[in-house]
Chain A
Amino acid sequence: MPDKPLLEIKNLKKSFGDNLVLDGISFSLNGGETKVIIGPSGTGKSTILKSINRLVEPDDGEIWLEDTEIISCRHINAIRQQIGYVFQDFGLFHHLTVLKNVMIGLTRVKKIPKEEAMKKARYQLDRVGLSGTEHQYPAQLSGGQKQRVAIARALAMEPKLMLFDEPTSALDPELIGEVLTVMKELADSKMTMLVVTHEMGFARSVSDEIIFIEKGSIVEQGPPEKMFRHPVHDRTKEFLFKLEDLYGEGSG
């Protein structure tokens, strides 16, 4: 790989009290790549994402977003504007309409004029298939729609990197597909994405690489075909089989 990676994580460590959650995680992400992090719950997958935009302060290590080291960076708000974050529980602002939810980062953080912000917001809502819901409130939407608004809100900031923290885990099974479809289209459009998910279908068909994490360390990583067909570690095989049993492959 000739280019410098867009995101590079080096020896990331984090403990909560006596509980060592991340024990030296290192990997990188090139521009346009989609990587999926999988692993049993409680193994620090979300903590990696949260460390990247410093919603969690890591204990040790380096995180480079292009030429900026994030952990030592003093202007974290400037960094966060460049990183879209999609939460498991949506995190939409209850008191704002769909349109205003997507606009607020543009008008209040990026200080873009209202007219222009509205245009950008409408464009992103159209992109996630939600034209026509502009004036509804989050509580009036289905879970799948809420998550797509959240994706539109993150995209409106024109981020360099999108982080997805179990974006479909809070959804009813029949609503998962619409969110995964939007994410797949994003990946196809060469957005750089880091996704924590249990959706093996998505991991298999969309990601460039799967990273399997257990007990705070990377057990194995590689392209999906290799991970599914010829995993080096028995533990990887065992885990992937279990997930396929649980979640099937169809939904991606």
Chain B
Amino acid sequence: MLASLELIQKSLPALMEGTFVTIRLTLLILAMGLVLGLVFAFGQTYGNRLVRLLVGIYDRVFRSIPELVLLLLVYYGMPALGIRFRPFDAAVVALGLRAAAYMAQIFRGTFMSVGSDQLTAAYSLGMGEFKAFIHVIFPQAIRAFIPPFANEYAIILKDTSLAYAVGVVELLRQGQYIIAVEYNPLAIFLAIAGIYFILTFGVTRLLKRLEKKLKIPGMGV
């Protein structure tokens, strides 16, 4: 027991190094998901038929393929087409494209959650579309956005461990290296699980607090 604790302590710097790679992966995938997702959501909400069709196909495809398959396809498959990614980049691209499909749905849902009466009321005061979005739609949509976003963040963070499969030295692989030398899988895997837990639980708790803070008095949700 004591030996395990000492091992974990000794391994901590290496695990932290892996943790930082995991965090970087998470942030980049999140950023890609948010930016592309927002574009897709606008496309699906306001675009013409062709744009809506294309976004719809994208959504279906990327939500129907296992992430691991997607990742292997990007890393091992694309070079045949002359597109070569480093492992880290392949992970960001593959997982980011998937995240974008989900984020688009989240954005769409939050836009639609703000009733059309709000927009009409804003127009009737003489606000243009931009002002109405900034002062009326966005502040309400952001509140509806937080819970599903927290959920998606947790999924993205945990799924960065798939990058292991293409050789990215993130938290899980860093742990594997230690296990290969020290041979104490229980202690190291537990430590890894603990770090994932803290990253997931800590941030979702923060988001939960933000959600509470932004809650509109008198509103049910």
Residues on A lying within 8 angstroms of B by beta carbon are 53, 55, 77-81, 83, 85, 87, 89-95, 104-105, 108-110, 136-141, 153-154, 157
Contact = CB atoms under 8 A, between A and B. Distances in A.
A14 B117 CA distance: 21
A196 to B, nearest CB: 15
Contacts of A87: 117, 120-121, 124
B125 A95 contact: no
Majority secondary structure, B binding face: helix
A105 B126 contact: yes
A79 B127 CA distance: 11
A80 B218 contact: no
A40 to B, nearest CB: 24
Given A53-B124, A55-B123, A95 B216 contact: yes
B216 A139 contact: yes
B139 interface: yes
Contacts, number: 74
Contacts of B124: 53, 55, 80, 83, 85, 87, 91, 154
B13 interface: no
B125 A137 contact: no
Contacts of B139: 95
A109 B124 CA distance: 11
A150 to B, nearest CB: 8
B120 A91 contact: yes
Interface of B: 117-118, 120-128, 131, 135-136, 139-140, 143, 216-219
13 contacts: A80-B123, A80-B124, A80-B126, A85-B124, A87-B121, A91-B121, A104-B135, A109-B125, A136-B218, A137-B218, A137-B219, A139-B217, A140-B218
A104 to B, nearest CB: 7
A95 B136 CA distance: 8
Interface centre among A55, A91, A109 (most CB of B within 10 A): A91
Q: Which 9 A-B pairs have the closest CB atoms?
A: A139-B218, A91-B121, A81-B126, A140-B218, A85-B124, A105-B125, A80-B126, A77-B126, A109-B126
Contact of A92 (B121, B126, B217): B121
A115 B143 CA distance: 28
A93 B136 contact: yes
Contacts of A78: 126
B103 to A, nearest CB: 23
Contacts of B217: 136-137, 139-140
A55 B123 CA distance: 8
